[in-house]
């Protein structure tokens, strides 16, 4: 599966749960007329959201052989330092497992 396919599968599996909020987070540059607008934080994860206990969840999606960039590893350290859950996901099951471990009483369907 490609990263985009994995990302879409994660959003489908978890995006409509009533006990979790996740959404796509974009990083990039756009040209609006003559203006160049940058958006997002370098290294931020592909999917962001809020766990039922109020903590932030960040999901970086990678293909089976994909690797984190240095910016992504730095972003992971920041999220974890502040108590958030960072998931390096290569499948929907990776996210399910991480959520189940982080929130033991939460059903990670």
38-49 residue pLDDT tens: 988 999 999 999
pTM of the complete model: 0.89
- Report, as an integer, the average pLDDT of 53-79: 96
Lowest mean pLDDT among 10-14, 74-78, 89-93, 105-109: 105-109
List, in order of start, the domains of the chain with CATH numbers. Answer: 3-102 (3.40.1350.10)
Please give the full DSSP string across the chain, using - where no structure is assigned.
--HHHHHHHHHHHHTT-TT-EEEE---EEEEETTEEEEES-TT--SEEEE-TTS-EEEEEE--TT----HHHHHHHHHHHHTT-EEEEESSHHHHHHHHHHHSTTS---
Residue 86 scores a pLDDT above 70: yes
């Amino acid at each position: 599966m490609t990263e985009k396919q994995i990302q879409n599968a994660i959003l489908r599996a978890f995006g409509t749960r009533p006990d979790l909020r996740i959404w796509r987070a974009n990083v990039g540059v756009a040209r609006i007329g003559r203006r160049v607008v940058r958006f997002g934080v370098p290294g931020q994860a592909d999917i962001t959201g809020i766990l039922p206990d109020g903590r932030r969840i960040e999901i970086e999606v990678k293909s089976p052989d994909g690797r984190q960039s240095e910016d992504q590893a730095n972003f992971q350290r920041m999220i974890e330092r502040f108590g958030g859950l960072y998931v390096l996901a290569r499948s929907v099951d990776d996210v399910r497992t991480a959520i189940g471990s982080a929130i033991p009483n939460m059903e990670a369907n």
